[in-house]
Amino acid sequence: MRARDLGIPFDGTTGRLNAITDVPGLAVGMVTLNSGEGELVTDQGPIRTGVTAILPVGSTRAYEAIPAAIYSLNGNGEMTGSHWIKETGGLSGPVMITNTHAVGTIHRGVIEWTKKYHPAAANEWLLPVVAETWDGYLNDINGPHVKTEHAVAAIEAAASGEVSEGSYGGGTGMNCYGFKGGNGTASRIVPFGGTDYIVGVFLQANFGDRKELRIAGVPMGDLDVPNPMDDDTWVDRDRKRAVPGGAGSVIAVVATNAPLLPAQCEALARRVPLGLARTGTAGGHFSGDIFLAFSTAQPGPLSSGFPIESRNVAKLRSLEFIPWNYMDAFYTAVVQAVEEAVLNALVNNETMVGRDGNISYALPHEQVMARINR
């Protein structure tokens, strides 16, 4: 069940899957780590985490750089490789998302995958893009559960088609607006010049305080949901905590097959907060809100390699782009898709019990439907 199935109204025309994979050639893969229960034993579990891989132009062309840009609403988070993207306006390689304390491991995992499948790229230099949000409420986040081979497996599993929303991959242990959060995705069609382009969004939602939540403009902060602290299932109540509000972070990836300049990608990334705000958040200090946008239309011209004359013939390169005065429709598509992706992450989910009996309850569908209908 996705947000539209609850009767939540959305604007815009979606792609076939209403997912980031509506962008041709883009692939998503995940590895989910979900095991153990009871009290936290560091390095043993319970484990509620994973890794997500996004291949903007698939595996074969992964290291042909595409126009890209990053925007940070609040920097209490991490996205590696961001300085090189800002310097060159180009993105190459997979985009990875995991938990806060697994960034280094996944970073190394991308290098291992690249050594295997793209040795020429590995023999130059690699600045993998790895982003994170914090899953320590449900997960043994300090345990070395995410391994380099999980990064490789997620990339190898990447495929087009439907995307697993909710508690899978990097989104396994995440919370959103005090409910069970995780992965959400959506897409919009933007016509231009006789072509229907796609704007797709994928986000790992782990942000927001419950009192902030709004759906279709309707306040949802007082939904009737049990208090995790009142659940007597677990004996060690002293170690239980409520879902932390306003903390945890959100990573958003915006993809389009429309030809864009890096500066236009940045303009798309800057619109992500407008979509988030439609769901209620004001952007908390303890939330790392970092957004990446890219265009898959023109792989290659922004690639950087060592200027070895025998291999690279010196010549000019060029990029096509949507005229700036036609960008408003693409901005609107980002805002609409981000809003829907957040709500898909909340709706397409289930209650999860994690370490020390900490509980993250699923969004109560019937209550939401009743308020929307009323």
Q: Which of 356, 300, 310 is nearest to 61 (CA)?
A: 300
| Total domains, the chain | 1
Nearest residue to 210 (alpha-carbon basis) of 234, 227, 231, 195: 227
d(CA 219, CA 233): 31
Candidates 82, 160, 187, 249; catalytic one: 249
Burial of 238 (0-12, 13-18, 19+ CB in 10 A): exposed
Q: CB-side exposure of 225: number of CA atoms within 13 Å?
A: 25
Would 99 be classed as within a structural domain? yes
- Does residue 314 sit within a domain? no
Distance CA 290, CA 79 (A): 7
Question: Which pLDDT score is estimated for 357?
Answer: 93
* Residue 89 covered by a domain: yes
* 367: containing domain: 3-234+243-304+328-373
At residue 313, does pLDDT exceed 70? Answer: no
What are the Cα distances from residue 296, in Å, to 15, 22, 120, 357? 16, 12, 22, 43
Look up 249 and say whether it is catalytic. yes
Choice among 14-23, 103-112, 124-133, 311-320 with the minimum mean pLDDT: 311-320
Q: What is the pLDDT of residue 241?
A: 73
Is residue 292 situated within a structural domain? Answer: yes
Residue 322, in any domain of the structure: no
Q: Bridge-partner residues for 341, per DSSP?
A: none
CB-CB neighbours of 263 under 10 Å:
12
Question: Is 311 part of a structural domain of the chain?
Answer: no
- Pair 47, 33: CB distance under 8 Å: yes
* Beta strands, E only, 144-287: 175-176, 179-180, 182-192, 195-205, 214-215, 218-219, 250-256
Active site residue 287: yes
135, 289, 295, 356: the catalytic one is 289
Q: What is the CATH number of the domain that holds 349?
A: 3.60.70.12
In a domain, 163, yes or no: yes
The DSSP call for residue 262 is: H
- pLDDT at position 306 is 78
Q: What is the per-residue pLDDT across 349-371, written as a single tens digit (0 to 9) for each?
A: 999 999 999 999 999 999 999 99
| pTM of the shown model | 0.95
295 annotated active-site: no
Could you tell me which residues come within 8 angstroms of residue 98 by beta carbon, excluding any fewer than 6 positions away? 49, 50, 51, 52, 105, 106, 130, 131, 132, 146, 170
Label residues 22-52 b or e (16+ Cβ within 10 Å = b): bbebbbbbbbbbbebeeebeeeebbbbbbbb
**CA–CA dist 161, 17 (Å, integer):** 7
**Over 80: is that where the pLDDT of 248 sits?**
yes
Cβ atoms within 10 Å, residue 365: 13
pLDDT band at 237 (very low <50, low <70, confident <90, very high): low
Q: How confident is the model at residue 308 (pLDDT cuts 50, 70, 90)?
A: low
At residue 315, the pLDDT reads 86
Mean pLDDT on 109-116: 98
Q: Which of 287, 295, 356, 360 is an active site residue?
A: 287
pLDDT at 244: 79
- Asked whether residue 185 is domain-assigned, the answer is yes
pLDDT tens across 285-295, in order? 999 999 999 99
